[in-house]
Amino acid sequence: MSKYWSDAVTRLTPYVPGEQPKESGITKLNTNENPYPPSPKAAAVINNFDTDRLRLYSDPDCTQLKDAIADQFSVNRNNVFVGNGSDEVLAHTFAAFFRQEHPLLMPEFTYSFYPVYCDLFDIESKKIPLRDQFELNLDDYDQPNGGIIFANPNAPTSRAIELGDIEALAKRNTESVIVVDEAYVDFGASSAIELTQRYDNVLVIQTFSKSRSLAGMRVGYAIGHEDLIDGLERVKNSFNSYPLDMLAIESCVAAIQDNDYFAETNQKIINTREWTTEKLAELGFISLPSKTNFLFTSHRFLEAAELMGYLRSKKILVRYFSKPGIDNFLRITIGTQEEMELLVSTLEQHPDLFKMDAN
Amino acid sequence: MSKYWSDAVTRLTPYVPGEQPKESGITKLNTNENPYPPSPKAAAVINNFDTDRLRLYSDPDCTQLKDAIADQFSVNRNNVFVGNGSDEVLAHTFAAFFRQEHPLLMPEFTYSFYPVYCDLFDIESKKIPLRDQFELNLDDYDQPNGGIIFANPNAPTSRAIELGDIEALAKRNTESVIVVDEAYVDFGASSAIELTQRYDNVLVIQTFSKSRSLAGMRVGYAIGHEDLIDGLERVKNSFNSYPLDMLAIESCVAAIQDNDYFAETNQKIINTREWTTEKLAELGFISLPSKTNFLFTSHRFLEAAELMGYLRSKKILVRYFSKPGIDNFLRITIGTQEEMELLVSTLEQHPDLFKMDAN
């Protein structure tokens, strides 16, 4: 607190990212990172980079990367916006489209950065309850709004919705922008990118941090109608002309073109997720049906907060949100098969697990 | 223009960065980049980087880089803020401190991104005229204000002011933040960093883009009282948790520790600047006394706009601002000695230069 702060700064409640531990020997299943390294082609870009070029500014328009993304998804360059992680893309999205008369609608449980952006940009928001089993039902969004945002698959619930439901919403809700945050879409859900070609009110946001294994490189993007992209460019160019460095641009070009590697690592994660879901079920965990690289799970009788502490004492980090309604769930990232075997065997050694047989 | 934009987006006039040409064979003296490559130690970090680590998020607090900067300037880690280029640091600074009742004061001619941030964050600003020969005189800032920002040395004028003048202002102006944008300070001016240790209302912003030859890596930082840094962190953590990628963090740690290389390349630029100033004077140019890596210069009788076009036709890019008051000046980046010799010999071949003898 300082007399020099703008009033709005005092009111902010900043986002708290998952812990990035500095000690080694930790099994890190808390921030939904990919357990596999990035594409070897992206790695080669970095290790062979002509560093003398770094004396020059990077391309403020990131044309090379926009073209690679456009090619990948069969859209045009002017349908693509890129930013410093999908968090920055989201921030510009909130500023560009959601400062409206009516409130922004979002699910009651979703990415916890959304309400933070609302505070930052002074956007009124309305949280729409999820239905039974955390089901996101877009029929609940038929009400006056200045925008709609949800994650598909949703986080931390891991559940996905059908493309047909999003299309139906896009048809009904023509006066505001519908943002589909697809950070996890590549692990089993259907992308709404094709809808952006037919509906000028749908914006899809994706990231290189999850399915492309480049969380440490900070690149995200949005795909939508060129007028939406133009709005984002206007905000971006009033904030920071060059948000992506040369290495981020060029390593992501290589990563997005390496579809074989992408398919192979994603399939491994999906297989491990299904194995883990089954094993955890045998230990008394009930997991929501996941289309992501994490499980949202609660135990029949062991408390989530206690389980998080137990796992932490065994050097396994998982994410826990002490928020009413989800405070008996753990969000567990799908790591390598070996990491998940370690998770399962560690849980099997929990001193109170034997009680399960008594239930 | 789109019905989906927030009203404020329609009103924005985005910043237009200097051209980044894609063709080769261009002598690029238009965006004040360093003509020398970054420190070989920074280069080694990149080319030897263990890219498997990129699957993980980078450190959201950038502790390693903050510590390296703190060491370099003999301040504490909590006096240091880092961001995605000094442009992002500036954006957060405007949001954190300048949204006040009174207008922000800035020089009439200075970094042209400042008014853009004012538009973005709805900040009223007041431009203070420069004195004769574009002299920035801080006595002119003794008036009600919600903040003061200037560049030292100033851009595009290249002139520097004395530390004593900034200190005197800091003593008088105790109710708002004074931001000293030191993007060019290493080319001959005195940094106000020492003042930040004694005045809680002074914030200094620097960049790796100019004197550290890392424009392509996008890293800037601010140094000030911990309460100011805390304000910046609150805004940053409500906008984007991880603005710096791993390569940006670690290459800049190496760069800032390589003081020998830094001193050597800066001295070469200063020497070339002095040589160029003298040679241009012989050709009829009058340059302001520069403490930067560029010259702000006008010709005795040739028009700046025409000269820019002539140089462009010879594949030499310089920056020109078609703004009343400075529209007969060129801003010419100091390149290598060879590049400046090419500039001088190209100007010598200008068909109208012979007229000089007649004047």
* Total CB pairs under 8 A between chain A and B: 275
Residue of B163, B254, B263 whose CA lies nearest to B211: B263
Give the pLDDT band (50/70/90) at residue B294.
Answer: very high
DSSP B112: T
> B320-342, pLDDT tens digit by residue?
999 999 999 999 999 999 999 99
Looking only at the bridges linking them, the beta strands covering A316-320 and A27-29 are parallel
> Which residues from B are below 8 Å from A242, CB to CB?
17, 85, 87, 215, 218
* Probe site for chain A from B1, B3, B6 (most A CB atoms < 10 A): B6
User: Residue A47 and residue B47: Cβ atoms within 8 Å?
Assistant: yes
Question: Looking at the partner chain, which of A38, A56, A209 has a beta carbon nearest the beta carbon of B51?
Answer: A38
CATH of A40-258 given 2.60.120.10, 3.40.640.10, 3.40.190.10, 3.40.605.10: 3.40.640.10
The pLDDT tens digits along chain A (359 residues) read: 899 999 989 999 999 888 888 788 999 999 999 999 999 999 999 999 999 999 999 999 999 999 999 999 999 999 999 999 999 999 999 999 999 999 999 999 999 999 999 999 999 999 999 999 999 999 999 999 999 999 999 999 999 999 999 999 999 999 999 999 999 999 999 999 999 999 999 999 999 999 999 999 999 999 999 999 999 999 999 999 999 999 999 999 999 999 999 999 999 999 999 999 999 999 999 999 999 999 999 999 999 999 999 999 999 999 999 999 999 999 999 999 999 999 999 999 999 887 655 54
Q: Which helix (H) or strand (E) holds B345?
A: helix B337-348
Q: What is the mean pLDDT of chain B?
A: 96
Please determine, for residue B91, whether its predicted confidence score (pLDDT) is greater than 80. yes
> B118-176, pLDDT tens digit by residue?
999 999 999 999 999 999 999 999 999 999 999 999 999 999 999 999 999 999 999 99
Where, residue-wise, is CATH 3.40.640.10 in chain B?
A: 41-258
pLDDT > 90: percent of chain B: 94
Residue of A201, A190, A188, A136 whose CA lies nearest to A162: A190
Helix (H, G, I), strand (E, B) or coil at B186: helix
> Which residues from A are below 8 Å from B51, CB to CB?
37-38, 42-43, 46-47
Alpha-carbon gap: B83 to the closest alpha carbon of chain A (Å) = 10
- Give the residue on A whose Cα is nearest the Cα of B242: A218
User: Angle, to 10 degrees, between the axis of helix B337-348 and the axis of helix B304-313?
Assistant: 110
> Which residues from A are below 8 Å from B46, CB to CB?
46-47, 49, 51, 247
> Which residues from B are below 8 Å from A6, CB to CB?
95-100
Question: Looking at the partner chain, which of B217, B245, B251 has a beta carbon nearest the beta carbon of A218?
Answer: B245
* Probe site for chain B from A240, A252, A334 (most B CB atoms < 10 A): A240
Encoded tokens for B266: 């800066």
Residue of A137, A151, A216, A157 whose CA lies nearest to A184: A151
Q: What is the rounded distance in angstroms from the CA atom of residue B44 to the CA atom of residue B22?
A: 26
User: Residue B99 and residue A8: Cβ atoms within 8 Å?
Assistant: yes
User: Residue B214 and residue A42: Cβ atoms within 8 Å?
Assistant: no
Question: What average pLDDT does this structure show over B240-258?
Answer: 97
Determine contact, residues A213/A73, Cβ cutoff 8 Å. no
- Give the residue on B whose Cα is nearest the Cα of A59: B20
What's the CA angle centered on B341, arms B335 and B342, to 5 degrees? 90
Determine contact, residues B238/A15, Cβ cutoff 8 Å. yes
At position B150, the amino acid (one-letter code) is F
Helix (H, G, I), strand (E, B) or coil at B177: coil
How many of the other CB atoms lie within 10 Å of CB of A10?
11
> Which residues from A are below 8 Å from B233, CB to CB?
14
CA-to-CA separations, A33 to A247, B81, B110, in angstroms, rounded: 20, 26, 43
Q: What is the rounded distance in angstroms from the CA atom of residue B258 to the CA atom of residue A312?
A: 39
CA-to-CA separations, A176 to A50, A71, A142, B2, in angstroms, rounded: 45, 28, 12, 11
Q: Which helix (H) or strand (E) holds B307?
A: helix B304-313
> Which residues from A are below 8 Å from B58, CB to CB?
20, 215-216, 218
User: Residue B28 and residue A56: Cβ atoms within 8 Å?
Assistant: yes
State which fold the A7-36+260-358 domain adopts. Answer: Aspartate Aminotransferase, domain 1 (3.90.1150)
Residue of A158, A42, A54, A73 whose CA lies nearest to A107: A158
> Which residues from B are below 8 Å from A98, CB to CB?
6
Q: Is the Cα torsion angle B168, B149, B227, B253 positive or negative in sign?
A: negative
What's the CA angle centered on B24, arms B20 and B27, to 5 degrees? 70
Determine contact, residues B123/B98, Cβ cutoff 8 Å. yes
Q: Tell me what pLDDT residue B178 has.
A: 98
HEC secondary structure over chain A: CCCCCCHHHHHCCCCCCCCCCCCCCCEEECCCCCCCCCCHHHHHHHHCCCHHHHHCCCCCCCHHHHHHHHHHHCCCHHHEEEECHHHHHHHHHHHHHCCCCCCEEEECCCCCCHHHHHHHHCCCEEEECCCHHHCCCHHHHCCCCCCEEEECCCCCCCCCCCHHHHHHHHHHCCCCCEEEECCCHHHCCCCCHHHHCCCCCEEEEEECCCCCCCHHHCCEEEECCHHHHHHHHHHHCCCCCCCCCHHHHHHHHHHHHCHHHHHHHHHHHHHHHHHHHHHHHHCCEEECCCCCCEEEEEECCCCHHHHHHHHHHCCEEEEECCCCCCCCCEEEECCCHHHHHHHHHHHHCCCCCCHHHHC
How many of the other CB atoms lie within 10 Å of CB of B258?
17
Classify residue A34 by burial, with Cβ atoms within 10 Å: 0-12, 13-18, 19+. Answer: buried
Task: Examine residue A324 and say whether the peptide bond preceding it is cis (omega within 30 degrees of 0).
Answer: no
Where, residue-wise, is CATH 3.90.1150.10 in chain B?
A: 7-36+260-358
Where, residue-wise, is CATH 3.40.640.10 in chain A?
A: 40-258
- Give the residue on B whose Cα is nearest the Cα of A118: B238
Residue of B23, B20, B42 whose CA lies nearest to B31: B20
- Give the residue on B whose Cα is nearest the Cα of A64: B22
Question: Looking at the partner chain, which of B6, B56, B238 has a beta carbon nearest the beta carbon of A98?
Answer: B6
- Give the residue on B whose Cα is nearest the Cα of A49: B47
* Probe site for chain B from A55, A113, A250 (most B CB atoms < 10 A): A55
State which fold the B41-258 domain adopts. Answer: Aspartate Aminotransferase; domain 2 (3.40.640)
Q: What is the rounded distance in angstroms from the CA atom of residue A331 to the CA atom of residue A295?
A: 6
Residue of B283, B294, B284, B301 whose CA lies nearest to B183: B294
* Probe site for chain A from B3, B4, B24, B87 (most A CB atoms < 10 A): B4
> Which residues from A are below 8 Å from B241, CB to CB?
15, 17, 87
At position B35, the amino acid (one-letter code) is P
> Which residues from A are below 8 Å from B149, CB to CB?
none
Question: Looking at the partner chain, which of A7, A57, A176 has a beta carbon nearest the beta carbon of B216?
Answer: A57
Across the strands, what pairs with B70? none
Determine contact, residues A91/B239, Cβ cutoff 8 Å. yes
Helix (H, G, I), strand (E, B) or coil at B352: coil
User: Residue B2 and residue A231: Cβ atoms within 8 Å?
Assistant: yes
> Which residues from A are below 8 Å from B176, CB to CB?
4
> Helices H, strands E: what count in chain B?
12, 12
Alpha-carbon gap: B347 to the closest alpha carbon of chain A (Å) = 24
* Probe site for chain B from A1, A3, A5, A123 (most B CB atoms < 10 A): A5
Encoded tokens for A59: 């391309």
Question: Looking at the partner chain, which of A15, A227, A240 has a beta carbon nearest the beta carbon of B241?
Answer: A15
Please determine, for residue B355, whether its predicted confidence score (pLDDT) is greater than 70. no
Residue of A124, A119, A96 whose CA lies nearest to A15: A119
Looking only at the bridges linking them, the beta strands covering A125-128 and A80-83 are unpaired
